[in-house]
């Protein structure tokens, strides 16, 4: 290293030190810790890649577009966090796997609080296009005892790969809220989930394309399960055999969450109804962790 290099390194370090020190008077210890670390890592990143002025301009323009696209219906910032794996990293740190409990995964932007209450065996599809799918299972504690009265929110995309909220108008399809029964059991009709593209017509889509990455998520059905005394579970089940299981755009797949969706044709369904044509069946037994540690990543209003 020449003495000029050494002087440059010292000048750069002095900028970082000064900015870190500027938070020294912050009253909230946690805030100070987070901001100091953020500055150190951000500066280290800029030095690591020797960030050019043009790249800084491009990054600001990119984040500005992310902000302009974000509103009540579209959350491009969460999408950015998702495709950078930050959402899954945060899930993994805050809802670490607990022995025997069902694993968590990313929450996503398509949950709607206050979805219609559905009776056991009811149909959450409500006209959403797709192959009918019977979903059933139980909610249990890690000791195997049933959890009655657990609140089970479910939501999914239709066979065209869209959630109801992505259509114009106010349709409610492919989502519902159920309760587990006295034996912990639950059951409902829905449609077989389909793989879909995350919203890719904005800056996050460009980031993926430029990175040689795809926007697809493997087919999945979202669950959020809450019950007093248990850690809230935010998860999905994925369809076994889906072609995108090994390249989920948001890194949400865990092996333990991949389930067989068995194809049936005609006959009598588990609820006793006579079926014509193709339908699917999946069984998903949910195990809730005790409420000791902190919870997943759903936004405040979903808690
Ligand atoms: C979802 O599964 O609904 C989702 C998750 C992350 C980004 C986009 C969609
Ligand atoms: Fe989804």
Instruction: Write out the chain in H/E/C secondary structure.
Output: CCHHHHHHHHHHHHHHHHHHHCCCCCCCHHHHHHHHHHHHHHHHHHHHHCCCHHHHHHHHHHHHHHHHHCCCCCCHHHHHHHHCCHHHHHHHHHCCCCCCCCCCCCCCCCCCCCCCECCCCCECCCCCCCCEEEEEEEEEECCCCECCCCEEEEECCCCCCCCHHHCCCCCCCCEEEEECCCCCEEEEEEECCCCEECCCCCHHHHHHHHCCCCCEECCEEEEEEECCCECCEEEEEEECCCCCCCCCCCCCCCHHHEECCEEEEEEECCCCCEEEEEEEEEECCEEECECCCCCCCCCHHHC
Instruction: Write out 220-281 in H/E/C secondary structure.
Output: EEEEEEECCCECCEEEEEEECCCCCCCCCCCCCCCHHHEECCEEEEEEECCCCCEEEEEEEE
| Residue pointed to by tokens 């010292």 | 10
Is there a single domain that holds both residue 249 and residue 123? Answer: yes
Tokens of 269: 């369904």
Distance 157 CA to ligand 2 centre (A): 7
Is there a single domain that holds both residue 88 and residue 178? Answer: yes
φ, ψ of residue 210 to 5 degrees: the values are -65, -30
Q: What is the pLDDT of residues 18-50, one digit of tens each?
A: 999 999 999 999 999 999 999 999 999 999 999
What's the whole-model pTM score? 0.90
Residue 125 lies in a domain: yes
Residue 67 lies in a domain: no
Is there a single domain that holds both residue 31 and residue 133? Answer: no
**In sequence order, which residues have a C-beta less than 8 Å from that of residue 222 and are 6 or more positions away?**
108, 110, 111, 153, 154, 155, 156, 235, 236
Residue 68 lies in a domain: no
Distance 107 CA to ligand 1 centre (A): 7
pLDDT for 149 equals 98
Report how many domains make up the chain. Answer: 2
Note down pLDDT in tens along the chain; length 303 residues.
788 899 999 999 999 999 999 999 999 999 999 999 999 999 999 999 999 999 999 999 999 999 999 987 789 999 999 999 999 999 999 888 888 999 999 999 899 988 999 999 999 999 999 999 999 999 999 999 999 999 999 999 999 999 999 998 889 999 999 999 999 999 999 999 999 999 999 999 999 999 999 999 999 999 999 999 999 999 999 999 999 999 999 999 999 999 999 999 999 999 999 999 999 999 999 999 998 754 444 444 443
Is there a single domain that holds both residue 296 and residue 221? Answer: yes
Is there a single domain that holds both residue 238 and residue 96? Answer: yes
Q: Give, for ligand 1, the residue of 66, 81, 106, 299 to mutate: max count of ligand atoms closer than 8 Å to Cβ.
A: 106
pLDDT for 297 equals 44
| Ligand with the closest atom to the CA of 253 | 1
Is there a single domain that holds both residue 27 and residue 84? Answer: no
Atom number of ligand 1 nearest to Cα 217:
2
Tokens of 67: 């902000």
For the domain that residue 139 is a member of, what is the CATH number?
A: 2.60.130.10
Inter-residue contact 78 to 281 (CB < 8 Å): no
Q: Rounded CA gap, 215 and 10, in Å?
A: 42
Is there a single domain that holds both residue 95 and residue 214? Answer: yes
Residue 228 lies in a domain: yes
Residue 65 lies in a domain: no
Q: Which domain holds residue 284?
A: 76-302
Is there a single domain that holds both residue 182 and residue 90? Answer: yes
Q: Rounded CA gap, 193 and 261, in Å?
A: 9
pLDDT for 202 equals 97
Is there a single domain that holds both residue 127 and residue 239? Answer: yes
Is there a single domain that holds both residue 80 and residue 163? Answer: yes
Inter-residue contact 51 to 42 (CB < 8 Å): no
Q: Rounded CA gap, 136 and 189, in Å?
A: 9
**110 CB less than 6 Å from ligand 1?**
yes
pLDDT for 208 equals 98
pLDDT for 296 equals 45
pLDDT for 77 equals 94
Residue 179 lies in a domain: yes
Is there a single domain that holds both residue 112 and residue 11? Answer: no
Is there a single domain that holds both residue 260 and residue 127? Answer: yes
Distance 70 CA to ligand 1 centre (A): 15
Residue 282 lies in a domain: yes
Residue 63 lies in a domain: no
């Amino acid at each position: 290293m020449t003495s000029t290099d050494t002087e440059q390194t010292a000048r750069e370090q002095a900028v970082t030190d000064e900015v870190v020190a500027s938070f020294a008077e912050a009253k909230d210890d946690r805030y100070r810790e987070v901001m100091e670390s953020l500055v150190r890592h951000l500066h280290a990143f800029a030095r690591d890649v020797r960030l050019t002025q043009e790249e800084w301009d491009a990054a600001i323009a990119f984040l500005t577009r992310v902000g302009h696209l974000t509103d009540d219906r579209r959350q491009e910032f969460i999408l950015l966090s998702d495709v950078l794996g930050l959402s899954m990293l945060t899930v993994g740190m805050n809802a670490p796997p607990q022995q025997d409990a069902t694993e968590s995964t990313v929450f996503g932007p398509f949950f709607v609080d206050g979805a219609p209450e559905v009776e056991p065996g009811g149909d959450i599809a409500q006209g959403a296009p797709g192959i009918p799918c019977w979903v059933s299972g139980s909610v249990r504690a890690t000791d195997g005892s049933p959890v009655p009265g657990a609140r089970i929110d479910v939501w999914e995309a239709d066979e065209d790969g869209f959630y109801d909220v992505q259509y114009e108008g106010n349709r409610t399809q492919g989502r519902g809220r159920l309760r587990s029964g006295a034996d912990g059991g639950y059951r409902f009709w829905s449609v077989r989930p389909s793989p879909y593209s995350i919203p890719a017509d904005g800056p996050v889509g460009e980031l993926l394309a430029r990175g040689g990455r795809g926007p697809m998520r493997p087919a999945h059905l979202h669950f959020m399960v809450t019950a007093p005394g248990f850690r809230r579970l935010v998860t999905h089940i994925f369809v076994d055999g889906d072609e995108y299981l090994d390249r989920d755009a948001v890194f949400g797949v865990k092996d333990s969450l991949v389930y067989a969706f068995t194809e049936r044709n005609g006959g009598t369904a588990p609820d006793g109804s006579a079926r014509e044509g193709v339908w699917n069946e999946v069984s998903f037994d949910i195990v809730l962790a005790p409420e000791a540690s902190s919870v997943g990543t759903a936004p405040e209003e979903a808690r």
